[in-house]
Chains A and B, each alone.
Chain A
Amino acid sequence: MALQNALKSAWAKPVAHLLCLAPFAWLLWSAFSDNLGANPVEKLTHETGQWTLRLLLLTLCLSPLRQWSGLASWLRFRRLVGLYSFFYACCHFAIWFVADHSLDLDAMLEDVIKRPYITLGFSAFLLLWPLALTSNRLMLQRLGRRWKTLHRLVYAILLLGVLHLLWLVKADYLEPSIYAIIALILLAHRVDPLKRLSVSFMATR
C-alpha cells in the first residue's frame, strides 16, 4: 500500500526524472572535474551506451512489474524512462559522431556500413526515433491501434542494442551477457504461455 501511494504521489514523477538524470549529471560533473580516467571519450561513450540499455531494460520491466505486483501505477513511468533511454542514446551517438568521426558524415556512414556492430547500434538508434516521436498523447490517439504495433519495435531495438554491445567486446562477456539474459527473459515474457506461467508463479508466492 505504501508502495502504491508512493508510485501515485505527485512526487513520484519528479523523483523519477531526477533518478534518470542522475547518471547524466554524474558524467557531466566527472567530465568537468577530470574524473573520467585516462580516456574520457571512451568512458563517456561506454557509459551513455550502457545507460541507454539499462533504461531500455527498465522500461520493459515495468509491464511485468505491474502484473506481478498488481499495481497499475508502474505504467505511469514507462514513457518517462523510455524517453530517457532515447536521451542517453542521443548522447551516445553524438559523442561518437563528434569525437570519433569529427562530424565527418561520410566517415561516419562508412563505419555504419562496414562495421556490423555499428550497423546494429545505428539501426537501433534510428528505430528509437519513431517511438520517441510518437510517445505523446496526441500521436497515441491519432495512431490508435497501430500505435501498439509500432511500439513493439522496442523489442527489436533491445535485441539490436544487446548484440551491438556483445559484438564489440574483446574478451570479457560478463556484463553484456547479463544484459542479454535480462533481455531474453523480458522477451520470453511477451510469449503468452510463458507469461501466464510467470504470473501464476509470482502469484503463488
Chain B
Amino acid sequence: MIKIKKRWEIPESEVTPEPLYRRRREFIQSAGMLGGALLLNPWAAAKASYPVDGYQPGVISLDEKLTDEEDATSYNNFYEFGTDKEDPKKNSQGFRTDDWTIEVGGHCEKPGTYGLEDLLKPHALEERIYRLRCVEAWSMVIPWIGVPLGSVLKTMQPTSSAKYVAFRTLHDPERMPGQQRWTLDWPDREGLTIAEATHPLTLLAVGMYGKTMPNQNGAPIRLVVPWKYGFKSIKSIVSIEFTENEPPTSWNMTLPREYGFYSNVNPEVDHPRWSQKKERRIGEIFKRNTLMFNGYAEEVAELYDDLDLTVNF
C-alpha cells in the first residue's frame, strides 16, 4: 500500500538514472532545435521525452509487471470503433485527431473552446503506472503519460456550484463507425464528483508506453481514473462541463442496475451477472484477487467515507 503512494509521487528524474535522464533532456533540446514543431506539439514532445528505451526498472515502482504494450493496444473496449476487443485497433487506424478542441462549459469562470495544446501546455507531462481494472473482470498495468486532471480544471476556475464534472466523447459516426449501430446511447458520457476529478490520482492522459496515445486507446486525450472500472475513464474527450447535479452517464443510463455512477472497483459488490472478486490480469492464465478501489484504497477511500458503497456502487 505504501509503495502505491510512492509510485506516483516520485518524480521521474529521481527514478531514472541521472545520465540517462540528462541524455533524454539533451535529446529533446536537440530535437527542438532541429524541428521546432516537435516541441510545439505536445504529443510529439511526449514521444520524444519518454523514449521506450529510457525505461529503467526503477520507473516501474508498481511491483507488478507492465502489461505487454501489444496487448494493451490490441485488446480494447472502445465501442465507438466496434464491440469486439480487436475492433478498435482495426477500425481506428484512419482516425484523425488534428485540430482537436474541447468545449469547456457549465459552472466555471473560463468557459470556451480550448485547443488541446492550450489546455496541456502549461502543465508538465508525467508518467504514471496504474492498474486498469475492467468491469468485465480483466486487468492491465499501463504506463500512462498525462497531466493531473485537477490542475487542468483549476485553470478553468470552477465556481462553488461546480459539484460534478461531466465528460463527453466525440460523436461522429463517420469517423467512429461503431456509432453507426446502437450499442450505447451515443455519445458516451461520463462523470465524476469534483472531489474525484481533482484527486491527484486522476489523470488526463495523452500517451502511454512512452508514445502518443494510440487511437484505439482513446486518442488524443482521455481520462484515467485508476480506482474505478475502466469504462469511467472516458476516451476521445470533446467536452468538459461543470455541473451542480450528478450528470447522466451512458452505461448507467443503459443498464442502471448494473453500472452505477460511482463504479468504484469493489470486490465486495458483484456485478449482478458476474463476480467482481477476482480478475484475470492480461498475460496470466489464472485469476487473481481484485483489490478494494483497485489497490488505491489508501489514497481514495476517504472520498467515500459517508457513502454506502453497496448502494452507491
Which residues from chain A sit less than 8 Å from chain B, CB to CB? 37-42, 99-100, 102, 111, 114-117, 167-168, 170-172
Contact = CB atoms under 8 A, between A and B. Distances in A.
Contacts of B120: none
B74 A172 contact: no
Nearest to B87: A172
Nearest first, the 4 A-B pairs at minimum CB distance are: A38-B75, A38-B71, A172-B83, A171-B183
A171 B254 contact: yes
Interface residues of B, number: 25
Interface in B76-129: 79, 83, 85-86
Nearest to A111: B275
A39 B138 contact: yes
A38 B183 contact: no
B273 A38 contact: no
B238 to A, nearest CB: 22
Q: Among A37, A170, A172, find the residue whose CB has the most chain B CB atoms closer than 10 A.
A: A170
Contacts of A171: 79, 83, 183-184, 254
A168 B85 contact: no
Contacts of B83: 171-172
B287 interface: yes
Contact of A38 (B68, B274, B275): B68
A42 B84 CA distance: 12
A40 B284 CA distance: 9
B31 interface: no
Given A37-B85, A99-B286, A171-B83, 15 more contacts: A37-B86, A38-B68, A39-B85, A39-B282, A41-B280, A41-B285, A99-B280, A99-B287, A100-B280, A100-B287, A102-B287, A115-B275, A170-B136, A172-B79, A172-B183
Contact of A37 (B74, B275, B285): B74
Interface in B278-295: 280, 282-283, 285-287
B184 A38 contact: no
B138 A42 contact: yes
A37 B280 contact: no
Contact of A117 (B75, B86, B273, B283): B273
29 contacts: A37-B71, A37-B74, A37-B75, A37-B86, A38-B70, A38-B71, A38-B75, A38-B282, A39-B85, A39-B138, A39-B282, A41-B280, A41-B285, A42-B138, A42-B280, A99-B280, A99-B285, A100-B280, A102-B286, A102-B287, A114-B270, A115-B273, A115-B274, A116-B273, A117-B273, A170-B136, A171-B184, A172-B79, A172-B83
